[in-house]
Structure 1
């Protein structure tokens, strides 16, 4: 099996530890362990004291009943038994593709998106066609192009909403149209929803509207605890039963302590969301003010998620720009070339306000070299 290099991950592996002002991340300002436990007033010492006598065995294979119950509350029509715990959303996406895609299958993917959603199907021998999102159309998913590219043998449509890197959302009306097209040929629709909770109220999970819909998510982005590496798949009973067989080959279970932390955070999701929505709303205001003041910068504004895809008008390659910016100003961005798109950067405005304000100021200072 051959697979392409993972552009975003390779970039972050090489450069993120060198950053002083990290605007490349997509996790909403990660909580400390103490902050996560104390978000509802729980004493961390009390929390862990209750775990002291717990045996460090394999725990619950699919996630604890409490975990599955709390995740199921995020959806309208999903039974808790159909929630399967995974190693982050990357593990959830891999499980879905590994379970369902065979050599020769036809897969349709949006582009740009998280590279895993199209290169893993390719590595399994599937034929992948792309639906291209265009900046001039607000990075909106073009339903008419899906109509033209779908086949009678299309096995799966892979989507990411809100989208990484653009931060834009597939609205419910459009998602229902996508589902109608998929249903005509019996295709699965996999939606990586890892950024969805901070999107507008005009958002729905594909699993709630389609029996062959697969929703994947994790606690890494909008829940602010990527360190515990817990995600999940939410599906129908039939699909969950297929996944169970393949899951046995990829993952036994998450750790007992990780599961306990996940349950605690999920039970307090409203408090986490309140914290994170305020941070993103305040930071997005700062980002908009910066974009509007910068003659070399433009942006299709994101949907209160953690990433944005900024266009920068400079006469050098965007990769060269990002490396030079990091070395001279200490600011880290993800070049659009990590998504095979020139002239743009992924800018995560989900860090602390102090880091964002100073980082944007330093980008402006660097851009002074290119002003007319």
Structure 2
């Protein structure tokens, strides 16, 4: 089945290494890790479900009584979960704007994808009437919290509505919480009825190279996901999971310095928005990404392409999230000041 590739990833692969100002990445700067603490272990010995110390560390982050399985990053966690809980021929609701794999994975499973808008005019919250209309016919709902690309968390009223609808219409909710890990004070949706969450430390602590994510939910759902994992990848990543357990033993205190830097950098983005008559936004609740709505005489894809080719500034055009007229700006991997100044200068020429 041809699902049309992954343009966002192709864009990043093409431009990231040569960018002078990388405002396109959605993670914090990669962690430099000395692993001299690591004791020798048998790399040939793996587990289906996950290394015990990693599972214990993951479950310590969530309410008691839940179960977990590890995966090769949040990407595989989402894949396994959608494969296990989705149903061929049935509707899967997916938010839009959307991180593209989340709407293509259900298609690969033979599900019909129905998009539910999160509107800029509504502060990137769901349009509640559209949600109520679509919910009765769905078997699975897939979303991010905080939202990728906007960085906005669901409000309590929206959480309640979504959870009530899932109980009334008996559908599962898959919540990608990878960006929530930067905001430990924001409660996870794990532990709520019908909810399964996925996550990792790739975005929050720069541990993408460890390739270790997880799924947390009720035991019966985790058993279904584990059954799919045994078919798809079978084994865990014992090195990555030892690193995961080590880093989680220091979480969330190891976020303090990171979040201090991110707050200062996001203030620079806010300054750009305030001084430009071409940009509006909903200020992110937290984290390292924002989604700027830009008034231009050309597409944001054209603008982003010119911005890179002429100035070496990498941003992500909204077209890759099914939301043209916007750009996603990340502040996690470098000081954004100079890149933001260039964006301001470019906008001033129109």
TM-score by length of structure 2 reads 0.95
Count of residue correspondences? 350
Partners of 2:8 and 2:21 in 1: how far apart?
18
Question: Which one of 276, 295, 299 corresponds to residue 313 of structure 1?
Answer: 295
Aligned to 1:75: 62
TM-score by length of structure 1 reads 0.90
Q: Per the alignment, in what secondary structure is the counterpart of residue 125 of structure 2? A: coil
- What CA deviation, in whole Å up to 9, does each residue of 1:12-40 have, x standing for no partner? 12222221110001112221124xxxxxx
Aligned to 1:194: 178
Q: Per the alignment, in what secondary structure is the counterpart of residue 310 of structure 1? A: strand
Partners of 2:237 and 2:135 in 1: how far apart?
41
Partners of 1:138 and 1:200 in 2: how far apart?
22
Is 1:292 paired with 2:277?
Answer: no
Aligned to 1:41: none
Aligned to 2:318: 336
Asked if 2 retains the 8 angstrom alpha-carbon contact of 1:92 and 1:232, the reply is yes
Partners of 1:255 and 1:140 in 2: how far apart?
36
> Cα–Cα, structure 1 residues 3 and 58, in superposed 2: closer, same or farther, change >3 Å?
farther
Question: Which one of 142, 161, 169 corresponds to residue 177 of structure 1?
Answer: 161
Question: Which one of 160, 174, 189 corresponds to residue 144 of structure 2?
Answer: 160
Aligned to 1:59: 46
Aligned to 2:69: 84
Counterparts of 1:1-372 in structure 2, within 5 Å, are 1-34=1-34, 44-45=35-36, 47-48=37-38, 50-51=39-40, 54-79=41-66, 82-151=67-136, 153-199=137-183, 201=185, 203-210=186-193, 212-352=194-334, 355-370=335-350
Partners of 1:98 and 1:2 in 2: how far apart?
17
Partners of 1:156 and 1:247 in 2: how far apart?
19
Return 5+ residue gaps in structure 1 as ranges.
35-43
Partners of 2:234 and 2:156 in 1: how far apart?
35
Q: Per the alignment, in what secondary structure is the counterpart of residue 295 of structure 1? A: coil
Aligned to 1:38: none
Partners of 2:88 and 2:123 in 1: how far apart?
34
Partners of 2:322 and 2:201 in 1: how far apart?
27
Asked if 2 retains the 8 angstrom alpha-carbon contact of 1:113 and 1:165, the reply is yes
Return 5+ residue gaps in structure 2 as ranges.
none
Partners of 1:338 and 1:144 in 2: how far apart?
26
C-alpha displacement of 1:346? 0.7
Q: Per the alignment, in what secondary structure is the counterpart of residue 207 of structure 1? A: coil
